[in-house]
Chain A
Amino acid sequence: MKATSRSDLLAWLDALSEQYTVIAPRMVDGELLYRPVHASDEVVLDFERTRLSAKSYLLPETEVILEIERQEGQVTLGEPRLDRDQVILLRPCDARALRALDALLLDRPPADAYYADRREKTSLIGLACPQLWDDCFCTSLGSAPDDASAVDVMVYKDGDAHLVEVITGKGRALMDGLEAEEVERPTPHSDRSGEQIAVLAPEDWPGLFDEAYWHQLAERCLSCHACTYVCPTCRCFDVRDDTTAAGASYTHIQRLRAWDSCMASAYRRIAGGHNPRPDKAQRLRNRYYCKFCYSPSDFGAVACVGCGRCIEVCPVGVDIAEMLANVAALAKGRSA
């Protein structure tokens, strides 16, 4: 464990930015967002949660995955890659969320080459939360505000100073520029108090599929994409060859991958026009089943970290924590 002052911590980030793109919480027109920082004085270290997660640096909102250039009968293909390694300062839940992305995009062959490239070139510095914030429920999902299991380096607040703990070899490689004193200290613990929500095991979900509850729950849902886009684990995308994007034309075609949302009514529409999930209740149910039933059963990771963002941004108060509690009660009622 290393002890360092706030100014030395920030100086370390400046040192890192010579070699890496440093992405950290920064105020952007009134919103706190993970954004590349040019100088460490832009970095916000005391905060609750950023409005958006850090997933866009691993799975960008829009990514050109193939460039097709046609000139004088010749076709050339280009595959853009991340040119610079990146370091992301982020909350432990946002780091842990990448496990859900890994489970789908990395762990089982064939790995998603674009994601794998970014993941390889990314180091994660965790900023431990001192406590759970409003709407958070990470402790209900087997994690904690100071969960260091998914980061390379963990930074804890210690009064006005910071404690820095190296977690992985990748993390050790970042430590050169840090002015810090080696101290013998136990790992600090955050306040874990907060409501514990019962989360049903994946195998308990299928039996509740036809409950009328899903229709009641979704009645207020507007079918917007806000929950899926602020979610650090939602990872659906669409791929299209594009000639309308800036820089693309009929001699220069871009194959784009862009975020898509299962809340959209056309998301599941297939050739011929059939839509297996025409109703918003079916779509909202699917979102939750994806997180708590399909993802853990098919890929081995629950796709929710309890960050609370979807609760915070939902324009009409759809609340995933309330849903989990209600579903647990439904299951209990059935088995009674």
Chain B
Amino acid sequence: MSREIQEGIRVQARELLGLGEISCVIGYEQGPKGRVRPAFVYDQAGTDRLVWDQTCHHNLVVYLHDRRKGGKTSAASRVAVVARPCDVRALNVLIHEGQVSREEVFVIGVACPGMAEGATLQAHCQRCRERVPVFYDALVGEPARVKLPADDWSDVAELEGMTPAERLAFWSREFDRCIRCYACRQACPGCYCFECLAEQVDPAWVSIAHGLSQKAFFHVMRAYHLAGRCVECQACDQACPMHIPLSLLNRKIAKEVEALFNYKAGGDPEIPPPLATFLKDEELPL
């Protein structure tokens, strides 16, 4: 499966770069120590570097923000990005928020078999019901024929089963390890503020201290800012050097959003996110 996807990505990349339709393919390569990492390929010769396997966990959509800083994009700066279903949902969120325009990006969609964790799939991939991206310009790989169980939110139920005191103790313990490196935020396509509230100097909302209250504030604030926007790609968990289960916060909020608005972030190219929409006469479900 991975081999087919990898071959498909290389074929697409060679063709697109050969036609001059795009300037760069953002995909994955193998680093010097054997670990997979993001890769930027600008010419056909480089396409053999591109790899794909079930450890390609980075959400490459995050790199589209870098490319916008140069200002208005032209056809030559159009890029192709290798994207799993969750990555495409992140792209969809960015399109709805006016951060990226659909025409700027050629989506090499991956029919995703899920990300591996040992011999099994990562928990979020086990409950993922989407093996094919909601949109793409080319699809690589064959959609896996898997039973797709409904999300039972059991991970969130565990959290909800705690008393407030237990929950505070749980998160305090987790956040205590945080080193304020912001890897979670930087790896997240949904976090693209020019200046993060956690680092703003004037006004300085958050102290520069690396204390539990600053760490907890940052993570809770970030989770709220991602309400209805987090696509559950778990780039944050993967990036965290201290292995804090950050996405669990987002999951709790995703559950609330789904219950209130019957909405899954980025799940439909036509439907804008509920917290970025206001309809006259709308009835708030609250």
Contact surface of A with B, Cβ cutoff 8 Å: 28-31, 51-52, 61-62, 134-135, 216, 219-220, 222-226, 228-230, 238, 240, 242, 244-246, 256, 258-261, 264, 266, 280, 311, 313, 315-317, 319, 321-322
Contact = CB atoms under 8 A, between A and B. Distances in A.
A31 B211 contact: no
Contact of A317 (B38, B66, B182, B201): B38
Contact of B58 (A219, A261, A316): A316
Contact of B180 (A52, A225, A244, A246): A225
B206 A244 contact: yes
Given A224-B181, A240-B208, A317 B213 contact: no
Interface of B: 31-33, 35-40, 58, 62-63, 66, 173-174, 177, 179-183, 185-187, 195, 199, 201, 204, 206-211, 213, 238-239, 241-243
5 tightest A-B CB contacts, nearest first: A317-B37, A315-B239, A61-B210, A222-B186, A313-B241
A317 B185 CA distance: 17
B207 A256 contact: yes
At the interface, is chain A mostly helix, strand, loop or mixed? loop
Given A61-B179, A220-B37, A313-B241, A319 B207 contact: no
B243 A258 contact: no
Contacts of A319: 31-33
Contact of B187 (A224, A245, A313): A224
Nearest to A239: B208
Contacts, number: 114
Nearest to B200: A266
16 contacts: A219-B66, A222-B62, A224-B185, A224-B187, A226-B239, A230-B179, A230-B241, A238-B208, A242-B208, A256-B209, A258-B208, A260-B208, A311-B33, A316-B37, A316-B38, A316-B58
Nearest to B58: A316
Contacts of A61: 179-180, 210
Contacts of A216: 40
A224 B186 CA distance: 6
Nearest to B28: A317
B166 to A, nearest CB: 16
Nearest to A269: B201
A246 B213 contact: yes
B35 to A, nearest CB: 6
Contact of A51 (B39, B180, B213, B241): B241
